[in-house]
């Protein structure tokens, strides 16, 4: 289906197939024979590069013959040459299937065929990054980052997204790695920071409500920074429009009490807490002794739980582990629908 002059990524093929990882899609393309009549050369990685393996020069020549251009650094512009797949999105925008393809429920739990847990090397990578947070070390270990962080994180996004859609159908997992998808970039913005360390020493993943922009949406956040891990749900920071809608909902005779009930239910779960208010004073337009004054001081609303990285981290059951801790936060997630729009 991929036409001449267009390229797809291994992640896109994996998302279309369901129950498959980008790595598995790569193995499939590597096994194609000339007589199979499959355009293997039109499949590249998520960074816009062809595979560094025997035959790479042939693949490049075949793509250039079809009009696909390479930059000076050897990459392909996915916005320009990315295939519009069956879902209607560019290759870089391809999401995991809305259904849990490749996953089945057994005994009340979800069995995932694509995600087998994060490898132990994920933790080791971040421990070493803390000691060597510089470009020379990172460049030397970029392949480790791709194999032990990015690939399992993408598999987690697909598996976890399919699971969350059972209780929050609006959640759209996005396996892009350019910062626009569920996986946050590792590069720090040091322009206005005294800390000039170039790389984040944590892995952040966010599965959000697909109706709005990533950082303007309610959703489910996962972060590890060895030896700790955090799971959160809600909206970390409102836009000005969302903040106005939030305050109006808190002041509303029905909306405000509904939020208090949701918070009580969520905070009643062991180890679960609500984010602290941002402002010290009640905002203008509201009485200082308003019955929900403390709630009016928030500029975001979320619940979270944190602790040491669990043993399940390296197992397929890590999807269950996260789901079991996110599910009790659903009352807050549902209430925020009136704010997220």
Q: Is the pLDDT of residue 162 over 50?
A: yes
Q: Is the pLDDT of residue 252 over 90?
A: yes
By mean pLDDT, which of 112-121, 134-143, 219-228, 270-279 is the weakest? 112-121
**Confidence band for 196, pLDDT divided at 50, 70 and 90:** very high
**Confidence band for 150, pLDDT divided at 50, 70 and 90:** very high
Select the CATH number that applies to the domain covering 8-93 from these four: 3.40.50.9100, 2.40.37.10, 1.10.150.50, 1.10.10.10.
Answer: 1.10.10.10
Average pLDDT score over residue span 219-236: 98
pLDDT confidence of residue 208: 94
pLDDT confidence of residue 54: 63
Q: Is the pLDDT of residue 70 over 60?
A: yes
> Mean pLDDT for the chain?
87
Residue range 103-340, CATH number:
3.30.930.20
- Counting residues of the chain whose pLDDT is more than 90, the rounded percentage is 62
By mean pLDDT, which of 99-113, 183-197, 252-266 is the weakest? 99-113
Q: Is the pLDDT of residue 228 over 70?
A: yes
Kindly provide the residue ranges of all beta strands, DSSP E only, lying in the chain, ordered along the sequence.
8-9, 43-44, 103-106, 109-112, 171-172, 203-209, 219-225, 228-235, 273-274, 301-308
Q: Is the pLDDT of residue 99 over 80?
A: no
pLDDT confidence of residue 91: 42
- Counting residues of the chain whose pLDDT is more than 70, the rounded percentage is 89
Residues 6+ apart with CB under 8 A from 26: 10, 45, 51
pLDDT confidence of residue 341: 64
Q: Which of 257-296 are b and which e, b meaning 16 or more Cβ less than 10 Å from the residue's Cβ?
A: ebbbebbebbeeeeebebbebeeeebeeebeeeeebbebb
Which regions of the chain carry the CATH code 3.30.930.20? 103-340
pLDDT confidence of residue 278: 96
Instruction: Give Cα separations from 250 to 203, 232, 335, 338 (angstroms).
Output: 33, 21, 11, 11
Tokens of 269: 């779960």
Average pLDDT score over residue span 140-149: 95
Q: Is the pLDDT of residue 33 over 70?
A: yes
By mean pLDDT, which of 47-51, 152-156, 158-162 is the weakest? 47-51
> What is the DSSP track for 243-280?
HHHHHHHHHSTTHHHHHHHHHHHHHTSTT-EEPPPS-S
When comparing pLDDT for 57 and 156, which is higher?
Answer: 156
């Amino acid at each position: 289906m991929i036409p001449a002059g267009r390229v797809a990524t291994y992640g896109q093929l994996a998302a279309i197939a369901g129950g498959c990882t980008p790595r598995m899609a790569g193995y499939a393309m590597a096994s194609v024979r000339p007589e199979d009549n499959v355009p293997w050369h039109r499949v590249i990685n998520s960074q816009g590069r062809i595979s560094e393996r025997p035959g790479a020069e042939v693949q490049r020549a075949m793509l250039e013959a079809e009009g696909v251009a390479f930059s000076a650094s050897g990459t392909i512009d996915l916005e320009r040459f990315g295939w519009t797949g069956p879902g209607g999105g560019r290759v870089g925008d391809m999401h995991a299937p809305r259904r849990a393809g490749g996953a089945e429920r057994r005994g009340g739990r979800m069995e995932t065929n694509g995600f087998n847990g994060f490898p132990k090397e994920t933790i080791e990578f971040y421990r070493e990054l803390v000691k060597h947070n510089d470009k020379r070390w990172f460049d030397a270990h970029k392949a480790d980052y791709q194999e032990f962080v990015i690939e399992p994180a993408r598999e987690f996004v697909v598996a976890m997204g399919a699971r969350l859609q059972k209780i929050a159908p609006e959640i759209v997992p996005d396996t892009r790695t350019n910062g626009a998808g569920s996986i946050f970039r590792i590069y720090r913005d040091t322009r206005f920071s005294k800390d000039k360390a170039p790389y984040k020493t944590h892995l952040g993943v966010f599965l959000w409500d697909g109706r709005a922009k990533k950082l303007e949406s309610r959703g489910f956040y996962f972060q590890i920074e060895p030896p700790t891990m955090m799971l959160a749900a809600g909206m970390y920071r409102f836009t000005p429009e969302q903040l106005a809608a939030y305050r109006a909902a808190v002041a509303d005779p029905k909306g405000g009490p509904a939020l208090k009930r949701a918070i009580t239910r969520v905070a009643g779960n062991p180890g679960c807490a609500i984010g602290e208010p941002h402002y010290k004073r009640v905002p203008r337009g509201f009485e200082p002794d308003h019955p929900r004054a403390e709630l009016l001081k928030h500029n975001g609303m979320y619940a979270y739980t944190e602790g040491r990285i669990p043993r399940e981290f390296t197992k397929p059951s890590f999807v269950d582990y996260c789901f079991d801790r996110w599910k009790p936060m659903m009352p807050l997630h549902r209430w925020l629908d009136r704010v997220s729009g």
